[in-house]
Structures are given as C-alpha cells and as structure tokens.
Structure 1
Amino acid sequence: MPRLFTGIEIPAEVGLQLSTYRGGLPGARWIDPQNYHITLRFLGDIDERMAEDVLSVLGESRRRDPVNVTLDSLDTFGGSKPRTVFARAVATNGINDLQAEQERLVRRVGLPPEKRKFTPHVTLARLRDASPIDVADYFATRGHFRKLIFTARRFVLFSSRDSVGGGPYVVEAAYPLG
C-alpha cells in the first residue's frame, strides 16, 4: 500500500539556499535538501487500485500555466509546542488554484476531503522536544530571510516509505504546467 502525496519540487539551487538554515536547533531532525517540496495534497496510505485512479485523474488537470513560487520567511507550526520549522510560500492564486483543483480531482475518485487548511510551505525540520525558547533563539540568530523565487513547471505525485516523514521521496508521475 503506497503512501502518496502531490507536490511541487524545489529546484536544487533553491534547496541549496534553504539548506543554509540547517543546524543550531536542539531537537531538530533536518530534512535532506533533495527531499524539499511543497505538499499540495496528502493522499495517505491507499491501495493499488486507488493509486491507479489517482494517477489517472491527476492527468486530467486543466491547470496548464507554470506557477510562480516565492518563499518569503521562516516559521513554525505547533505554537507553544513547536513541531516543525518551515519556509513559508506566499499563497498566490496560482498555488491555491492548483491545490484546489487537485482536491476536487482526488475527491472525485473517492478520497475524503482534506481536513487541514492549506498552508503552502517547505518543511526544513521536524522537531522533537524542542522548547519554544530554543525555537525563538533559532529564529533570532537566522537574521533576515532573503526571498527565494522560482517557477514550477510541473507538479508531481510522490511516494514515500512508511515513516515519521522526511523522505526519501520518489517521483511516481509528473504532470506539466505550461
């Protein structure tokens, strides 16, 4: 049973720049730069038949324009119990429309609706027992985040092994944008 999700790949040169934010945070498990991505729709552990349906329906995507992506800041999920450090992507119409279309397509083949609000981001680290003070210190020492901009010319269907996240991820299919 594959664990699948759709996403936007991060170009190697952008990943290299993001990787400079690795380190200096106790309790962080840093994601390898080659596994950086923006998740559009987590599909989860699905059976082979559903995976084939998803593969097929994503090919019906009408979104054909490339998507401009801007990463503009570092942030964290988890509030007083931080669990993730990430680079925030600006929620443009292009990214939001692409994600909404994928949501509609995968629901059409029978997957339940996504319950979480879509927040486009690139996970840099997963945190375990990191204190809010350590996270605040980490952000304070990182200085100004220089915007990173790229154009996504495709979205992909990724698979991953059953784990706590972080890869390795495999591109199962690619769908052009533009």
Structure 2
Amino acid sequence: MIRAFVGLPLPDACAEALGVVQDRLSAGRDVPRDNLHLTLAFLGAQPESVLEDLHGLLERVTAPPMTLRFSGYEMFGGTKPRLLAALVALNPALQALRAKVRRAAYSVGIDLPRERFRPHVTLTRFAGLLTSGEERRVRSVMEGAVLVPDWPVEQMVLYRSVLNPSGARYDALADYPLAPGAPAF
C-alpha cells in the first residue's frame, strides 16, 4: 500500500516567501519547504495497481496553466488550532482541475470524502494546544505583511507520502504538465 495524494508543487519564490512566515512563528512544527504544496485530492493508502490505473487517467487530464494568488492566512481547527495555512484564492480553473482529478480517482475505485474545497498550503502543524503567548505570536505573524508572489501553476504531481517520526516526506511519483490551450472546464 502506498499513501498518496495529487497536488500542486510550489515554485521556489513562493516557498521562500512562505518560509519567511514560518521563520517568524516559533510555534509548532514547520512543513519543510520542499514539501509545501496544495492538495487537490488526498488518496489515502492505495495498492500500487490502483495508483498505476490512476496514473493512466491523470496522463489524459487536460487543463490549462493557471496563476494562483495567496489571500491570507488561517489557523484550522477552531478553538484548538491544529495547523496554520496560507490560503489560496479559489478560481474556476483550480476548481475544474480538482474536479477532474477527483473524477479520475473515483473512476479507479478510490473513495474520496466529500468535503468543501478550501485551497491552502499547510505551513505549520501544532501538536497540542497553543499557549496564549504562542497563539498571540501566530496571530501577529498572520497579520504581518509578507508578500507572496502569484503562483504560476504549470503541472500537477502524484506524490507518495512516507511518514516518519520527524514528519512526512513527499516523493513525486509522476508529474503531469498542464497544456496551454487545454479547456479549463
């Protein structure tokens, strides 16, 4: 079984800018800059044969390159925040690409949960409750002005997620270029 997901990798300029935000936090466990991404579909643990079938379908997914914009920061988890994320503005091309990926996953028998799509890049995970001082510091960082450049998306990637005591490591299994002129919907 391979734990996997389909996502959009961040370009270096965006990862570096978001790294500045991480450096200012001093709370939680930062996601390594090489692991920063936007998840289109978390696939869970799947047999290799299912991922091979999915790969064949993802190779046929057509979508144009797009530009994404960051729209702020949010702590997810309500009164017990579990992570800090950089929010990505939702746009029709991103929604359409996600829908195509999810349809491909369903087609090979992967049962994905129904959930509202909140595009984001996870920056830091919090292991437990934040102290009031940590929460104030995180909120202060969230309000600080770190300019993150627009994100030109030219490919999506099928990733393997390997869990270890220091956190997850993501390895690209295959990438799928987005094609200029491809229909967005």
TM-score, normalised to structure 1's length? 0.91
| Paired residues of 1:103 and 1:113 also in contact (CA < 8 A) | yes
Name the residue aligned to 2:19. Answer: 19
Q: Does 1:172 align with 2:173?
A: yes
| Paired residues of 1:27 and 1:129 also in contact (CA < 8 A) | no
| Identity fraction in percent | 28
Q: Does 1:55 align with 2:52?
A: no
Deviations 1:119-145 (A, max 9, x none): 111110111123273324322245124
TM-superposed deviation, 1:25: 4.3
TM-superposed deviation, 1:27: 4.7
> Structure 1, unaligned stretches of length 5 or more?
none
Report the count of equivalent residues: 177
Cα pair distance change 1:77/1:141, threshold 3 Å: closer
Name the residue aligned to 1:128. Answer: 127
Alignment-mate amino acid for residue 93 of structure 2 = G
TM-score, normalised to structure 2's length? 0.87
Cα pair distance change 1:24/1:11, threshold 3 Å: closer
Q: How does 1:67-82 map to 2 (within 5 A)?
A: 67-82=66-81
Query: Any idea what SS the aligned residue of 1:129 has?
Result: coil
- Please tell me the root mean square deviation across aligned C-alpha atoms, in Å: 1.9
2:136 and 2:97 mapped to 1: Cα distance?
Answer: 33
Query: Any idea what SS the aligned residue of 1:7 has?
Result: strand
Q: Does 1:38 align with 2:31?
A: no
Q: Does 1:156 align with 2:157?
A: yes
> Structure 2, unaligned stretches of length 5 or more?
180-185
